[in-house]
Structure 1
Amino acid sequence: MTENAESVVRRSTLMAAGHSNYSVALRCRPDGPWQQLLPGVLLLKSGPPTRRQRVKAAVLYAGDDALITGIESLRAHGLHAFDTDEVHMLVPGTRRLSSREYVRVERTSRMPRARIIKGLAFAPPHRAAVDAARRIRDPSERRALLFAPIDAGLCTIEQVRAEIDGGAQRGTAALRELLHEVLTPPLTSTVHQGWAKRVIREAPLPAPEWDVPIHTATGQAIGIADAWWDSVGLAWDFGNQRDRCIRRREEAFTKAGLIFVRTTVAELRSNIDAIVLALAHAYLKAASRPRPPVHALT
């Protein structure tokens, strides 16, 4: 029989290929070449499984309609600052499946659309962050988990808010408090902000406010401005975030009638004169039209 790439298979697959219960049990003895990782799921090699093999086993155990969420999903999306031995799986609410070993199974009526990464199905970053953070007791770790995908440009604060509002209420009280805090976590590094403040010292502009959440008149979150001139409704973005997130943020700000200036990190380090000119022009443009009906949480 040809083993798959991770050497992780369902017992039923082996049986269909001609193995008997006896032959499988024989190979899974303590000194045998195979081992059982989870009920009905085998690793066709001895020795400790790799992280990928553990995740693959969790997927085979949970079934084809399951998704990986929580910290493991955040890691798959590139956020490697967090670690856990647990694999958190979402399954449809109609399923009856128990958590086993290192696999946490959660039934949900709100299965998100899968993000396929290297052949495995993961929950999107905003859902994964909420699923992970609502189970964390430590406030600083909870905050870090909740805001990590926003900081990385993988989703918006509004997507996280919508996930909290639309999902199960259990364990979300602390997350709601985080989103309603007056001082939200800065989404740019102190290094980038230091470079930006150096630019502002050279610009003929009043001092802005930094890391400011902007909301519509009805209270809907628009996004967080790295720098914000409230009197004219001007937002400056200079964080090291992914292009697709920048486009979403710019679209949200401009849709609200705001002037949005984007500066790359490379420009921030080396092209001060051009940035000063762009900000001055943007400020004059913003001041020449009625200020949009937005408010900032400062």
Structure 2
Amino acid sequence: MLSTMKRGAWADDLTAIRDASLDGVIRARTLEQLGVARSTVWSRCRPEGPWQRILPGVVLLHNGRPSTTQRYLAALTYGGPDCLLSGYAALDVAGYSTADRNDVLLLVPAQQHRRAVSFVDVERTCRMPDGLRRGHLRYAPPSRSLIDVARRLSSADRCRAVLTSGLQRGDVTVDQLARELGDGPNRGSGLPRSIVRELGDDAHSVAELQAQKLYASSGLPRMVHNEDVFGPSGEWIARPDGWLDEVALAWEIDSLRYHFTAEAHAATLQRRARMQRAGIVVVSTLPRQLTSDPRTVLADLRAAHRLACVRPRPAVFLREAA
């Protein structure tokens, strides 16, 4: 419960005002309840003043550039207690890389009237998800946030990159993304629906999807993807991105970006060494080569296939489905 100060007494000690704020973000109405006259609030929010009006009815208690967290808090303060961050803002709070996106998507209940303003985009929805919290920040779960981003994209590659980021982190499954799309509005759903269908084929990165499309033009035998390969005694060897079983050829799409940590990349190198010790011919491709130099990638694959055809096939096999 806020205790109203004597008119003008707030200026003698700003502690109460700072304590009532969230990282310097406070409602103008709260300031009035603390004894700051409305005219004083807006006077202090003039360009030369010590505060700023960051959103309608929301004040930031300094006149410098707001931090990302302050922008998120301001949006939530503007939206009210039932709103949630979604889209890039929610993914940022959840720890995703969002390339410093400036827009903030706010989900508000359908019966609540809030308009898009400044850096805040508002979506009124009848499907308010159960929110997550990090400190004072309330945000939609990854499945909703990812789809809310995807519905606003026009680039297929960017849409794949966003959706596969959730799959790679283990935050969502393809089925969860498909359900979220099915339950949501049709507006903007065409592209993410097609991407989710592609992701259902067990390709878990943009690079792997690009590789599969390029390989289709190679004229080489059919390749399977993400299948476990075992040695003659049943020991597991690897799960390469692509596999030609007839000649025991593996295709690996290598990039630290898709393996997240140095430890995971080291595991990739160890897996490749196991394959080579088992006699498997391994082709390694960097993701950027798929688009910058596809002819060389295809030439490497065809040369490796010729090499695999002339050497005895090693005793390695795919495990048959149960």
Matched to 2:96, the amino acid is L
Q: Which amino acid aligns with 2:224?
A: E
* Structure 2 residue 136 is matched with structure 1 residue 111: no
Counterpart in the other structure of 1:39? 56
Unpaired runs of 5+ in structure 2? 1-15, 209-221, 228-238, 246-257, 279-316
The counterpart of 1:209, out of the listed 209, 221, 224, is 224
Equivalent position of 1:150 in the other structure: 167
5+ residue gaps, structure 1, are 192-206, 213-223, 231-238, 243-263, 278-282, 293-298
Greater relative contact order (Cα < 8 A, sep 6+): 1
Q: Structure 2 vs 1, CA of residues 241 and 209 (structure 1 numbering), >3 Å: closer, same or farther?
A: farther
Deviations 1:42-85 (A, max 9, x none): 00101111111111100100011000000111111211143321
1:177 aligns with 2:194: yes
Q: 1:137 to 1:208 in 2, by over 3 A?
A: closer
- In the TM superposition, what is the alpha-carbon distance from 1:266 to its structure 2 partner? 5.5
Pair member with larger Rg: 2
Give 1:32-71 correspondences, 5 Å limit: 32-71=49-88
Deviation, 1:241, is 7.8
Q: CA deviation at 1:151?
A: 2.1
With over 3 angstroms needed to count, the CA separation of the structure-2 counterparts of 1:182 and 1:75, relative to structure 1, is closer
Change (3 A) 1:143 1:182: closer
Residues paired across the two proteins, number: 237
Q: TM-score, normalised by structure 1?
A: 0.66
Tell whether the 8 Å contact from 1:188 to 1:226 is kept in structure 2 after alignment. Answer: no
What is the CA distance between 1:168 and its match in structure 2?
A: 1.1
> What are the Cα deviations for residues 77-130 of structure 1, in whole angstroms up to 9, with x where unaligned?
211143321100001111111111110110111111111123211111111011
Q: How many angstroms apart in 1 are the aligned matches of 2:67 and 2:51?
A: 14
SS at match of 1:72: helix
Distance in 2 (alpha carbons) for counterparts of 1:229 and 1:14: 69
In structure 2, the residue matched to 1:14 is: 31
For 2:58, give the aligned amino acid.
V
1:101 aligns with 2:118: yes
CA RMSD of aligned residues (A): 3.9
C-alpha deviation, 1:140, in angstroms: 1.9
Deviates more, 1:115-124 or 1:145-154: 145-154
SS in structure 2 of the partner of residue 104 of structure 1: strand
Structure 1 residues 10 and 226, CA gap change in structure 2 (3 angstroms): farther
What's the TM-score, normalizing by structure 2? Answer: 0.62
**1:147–1:185 contact (8 Å) kept in structure 2:** no
